[in-house]
Amino acid sequence: MKPILWLTLVSMATLIFYSCSKQGFLDQTVTSDLDKDMVFSDSLYTVQFLNDIYREIGFSEHPNRFGNGGLDAASDESRPQRSINVTTSVLFSSGTITAASIATDAWTIPYANIRKVNQLLANIAKAPIADYQKSIMIAEARFLRAWYYFILVKHYGGVPLVGDTIYTFTDYIPAERASFEECINYIVSECDAVRTQLPYRQIRGEYGRAGGGTCDALKMRALLYAASPLYNRSNVNPLLGYSTADLERWRLAAEAAERIIASSTYNLYTADNSSPGRSFYTIFTLRENTEYIIARMQPTNKELEEIWQPPSRGAAKGGFPYQETVDAFGMANGLPIDDPNSGYDPQNPYAGRDPRLAYSFIKDQTEIANNQGAIVPVNIYLNADGSPSSQDAIYSGTPTGYYTNKMLNPEHAANFIHGGTRNFPLLRYAEVLLSYAEAVNEYSGPNENVYQAIEAIRSRAGLNPYTIPRGLSQEEMRAIIHGERRVELAFEGHRFWDVRRWLMGDTQNMQMHGMQVTRRQNVPTYKIVEVDKHNFRPEMYYWPIPLLEVGKSPELEQNPGY
């Protein structure tokens, strides 16, 4: 077999298509056996072929990506669900990841979709579609190619760039990796090239498709990563970053975020004022909103409930949040729990907390629906004799004393008949504000724009006061920004990458904890308990390229340490 993975990619003989529906362009699946001449001689099939490239746009952030959790369970957010199979999440948390054991999806899925993009670009000219529509489809496809390349880059660093070429089984396929800088430049240039060919924000029937704002947001994220300490330093290996550090890279990231802010197209959702921080909950239940820049579009679903809710609801298939993640959520007065003025009480640990905590975690006595639709508490406590109070209790259902509540609808149980219209966010405006604040702070320190961006997030969260004391140093503001990203973007696929790009591998090399609640005559006592020891090796800042792929060609250089 010729070198490099995409020789093994899915043939065009079988195309899995998503057809249009009133709920969204990716809601229904149709499977047909078609060849490329049939596909690109029919306008519907051509559109469906593009839709198919969107299908896996959110695989990297999927909360059950590894079968027992996602990136949250591969980092210090959650403990992986134990299973008979040793999965990538377990291997990362235990520090035992190897090129032979790593999941291959981060390599195979992007290259499969990059090849589909190139097939569309090569054949769309003959499709019976109006020229203006073709130009929009081409722009969307080029964005998607850049999107999948960025998934490759954040996993591996520099990767082979194939351009518009479509390789076949009889071709010699060069497998030499491009440098990290070349890959970032390519992603940014593709975003810049197509951004003006698309509506800035897609609405109505086109909602969920890439727009000009999506291009700007991907560019922002790529430049933010590129400016971060992991890559923006003197690296011996150009596959893993730049050869020299340059502060100006932070300026470029800030300008990319500022363009989105200045467009006034997106905003934080703040319409639900029924209780402090309620808008933070509501945004994740809305199928269409002006905070999501792009999302993984879904039909009516209970997907997250089936992954994150406790066993009594027919779920508990994903990761279990650690106490360290809960403790990252400060108090409603805006102070961290270890501040002596915060008012935190270890024997009443959830009183007076950041409202986002209750919307992010299922803890003992959190009320959610059961399979009859009744809203009842989840019993996670131990009885006075140490026995579990229910199948959901610590040591019985959860090893940490918590389940994830982020983005769940409390009225929908995993084993209930009904689902919601939620989509999983991949880029949202809160990330833009946080990225802007980080980039400006790193470039020139905490000016007033930095304060206002972070305060907008804290205000929506329901903190009172939400303001930050002026006069902070760059280091003090950096700590606040890191903390806000951890809380606001929890369980959305960011933490795994943030701690790596910040060169904070030490956070992944710690003893992790949970919360044991014991009730005597319904009076709770709280005890922090040890759960797992995480381990981290320096080579784990990058993923190893799967051994099978490296073995196909001597040109494909493996990442150091693997």
Element (H, E) at 361: strand 361-362
Question: Which of helix, strand or coil describes residue 249?
Answer: helix
pLDDT band at 170 (very low <50, low <70, confident <90, very high): low
For residue 8, pLDDT beyond 60: no
Q: Are residues 440 and 546 in the same domain?
A: no
Question: Which of helix, strand or coil describes residue 207?
Answer: coil
Q: Are residues 463 and 545 in the same domain?
A: no
Rounded mean pLDDT, 8-15: 34
Query: 13 — phi, psi (to 5°)?
Result: -60, -30
- Give the separation between CA 423 and CA 208, rounded to whole angstroms: 9
Q: Are residues 546 and 470 in the same domain?
A: no
Which of 276, 261, 324, 282 shows the shortest CA–CA distance to 459?
A: 276
Q: Are residues 546 and 454 in the same domain?
A: no
Q: Is residue 445 part of a domain?
A: yes
In this structure, what token pair is assigned to residue 208? 């969920």
For residue 503, pLDDT beyond 70: yes
> Among the residues of 312-399, which ranges form H helices?
323-327, 355-360
* pLDDT the model gives residue 30: 37
Q: What is the per-residue DSSP string for 5-49?
A: GGGGSPPTTEEEEEE--TT-TTSEEEEEE--HHHHTTSHHHHHHH
pLDDT band at 76 (very low <50, low <70, confident <90, very high): very high
Q: Are residues 21 and 112 in the same domain?
A: yes
pLDDT band at 235 (very low <50, low <70, confident <90, very high): confident
Q: Is residue 482 part of a domain?
A: yes
Domain span at 460: 427-506
pLDDT band at 167 (very low <50, low <70, confident <90, very high): confident
Residue owning tokens 């402090």 = 276
User: Average pLDDT of the chain?
Assistant: 92
In this structure, what token pair is assigned to residue 478? 């950096």
> Among the residues of 290-420, which ranges form H helices?
303-308, 323-327, 355-360
In this structure, what token pair is assigned to residue 281? 């909950």
Q: Are residues 85 and 155 in the same domain?
A: yes
- Give the separation between CA 242 and CA 179, rounded to whole angstroms: 8
Sign of the torsion angle spanned by Cα atoms 165, 166, 171, 175: positive
Q: Is 473 exposed, middle or buried (0-12, 13-18, 19+ CB in 10 A)?
A: exposed
Q: Are residues 442 and 546 in the same domain?
A: no
Q: Are residues 466 and 545 in the same domain?
A: no
pLDDT band at 169 (very low <50, low <70, confident <90, very high): low
Q: Are residues 473 and 546 in the same domain?
A: no
- Give the separation between CA 272 and CA 315, rounded to whole angstroms: 29
Tell me what percent of the residues of the chain surpass a pLDDT of 70. Answer: 93
* pLDDT the model gives residue 33: 53
Q: Is residue 518 part of a domain?
A: no
Q: Which residues contact 532 (CB under 8 A, 6 or more apart)?
A: 79, 93, 511, 512
According to DSSP, the β-strands at 28-33 and 14-19 are antiparallel
Q: Is residue 358 part of a domain?
A: no
Asked whether 514 and 323 are in contact (CB, 8 A), the reply is yes
pTM, full prediction: 0.93
311-340 core/surface letters (b: 16 or more CB in 10 A; e: else): bbbbbbbbbbbbbbbbbbbbbbbbbbbeee
Which of 541, 372, 336 shows the shortest CA–CA distance to 458?
A: 336
Q: Which residues contact 183 (CB under 8 A, 6 or more apart)?
A: 149, 152, 153, 157, 158, 159, 161
Q: Is residue 365 part of a domain?
A: no
Q: What is the per-residue DSSP string for 257-308?
A: HHHHHHHT---------SSTTHHHHHGGG-SS-SSEEEEE--SSB-HHHHHH
* Bond before 465 cis per omega within 30 degrees: yes
For residue 16, pLDDT beyond 50: no
- Give the separation between CA 78 and CA 420, rounded to whole angstroms: 25
Which of 478, 489, 426, 434 shows the shortest CA–CA distance to 456?
A: 434
Domain count for the chain: 2
The whole-angstrom distance between residue 237's C-alpha and the CA centroid of its chain comes to: 27
CA distances from 138 to 129, 511, 528 (A): 12, 49, 54
Q: Is residue 366 part of a domain?
A: no
Q: Is residue 48 part of a domain?
A: yes
For residue 487, pLDDT beyond 80: yes
Which of 147, 121, 136 shows the shortest CA–CA distance to 57?
A: 147
Q: Residue 481 sits in a domain of what CATH number?
A: 1.25.40.900
Q: Are residues 130 and 179 in the same domain?
A: yes
End-to-end CA distance of the chain: 24
Asked whether 241 and 235 are in contact (CB, 8 A), the reply is yes
Which of 193, 188, 186, 181 shows the shortest CA–CA distance to 220?
A: 188
Asked whether 402 and 514 are in contact (CB, 8 A), the reply is yes
Q: What is the pLDDT of residues 275-330, one digit of tens each?
A: 999 999 999 999 999 999 999 999 999 999 999 999 999 998 899 999 999 999 99
* pLDDT the model gives residue 35: 81
* pLDDT the model gives residue 474: 98
Query: ∠ at Cα 155 (150, 161), nearest 5°?
Result: 50
- Give the separation between CA 213 and CA 479, rounded to whole angstroms: 28
Q: Are residues 125 and 176 in the same domain?
A: yes
Q: Is residue 309 part of a domain?
A: no
**SS3 annotation, 496-541:** HHHHHHCCCHHHHCCEEEEEEEEEECCEEEEEEEEEEECCCCHHHH
Q: Are residues 133 and 210 in the same domain?
A: yes
Distant-in-sequence contacts of 474-480, Cβ < 8 A, 24+ apart: 474/441, 474/442, 474/445, 474/446, 476/446, 477/437, 477/441, 477/445, 477/446, 477/450, 478/438, 478/441, 478/442, 480/454
Q: What is the pLDDT of residues 112-160, one digit of tens each?
A: 999 999 999 999 999 999 999 999 999 999 999 999 999 999 999 999 9
Query: ∠ at Cα 544 (542, 549), nearest 5°?
Result: 145
Q: Residue 90 sits in a domain of what CATH number?
A: 1.25.40.390
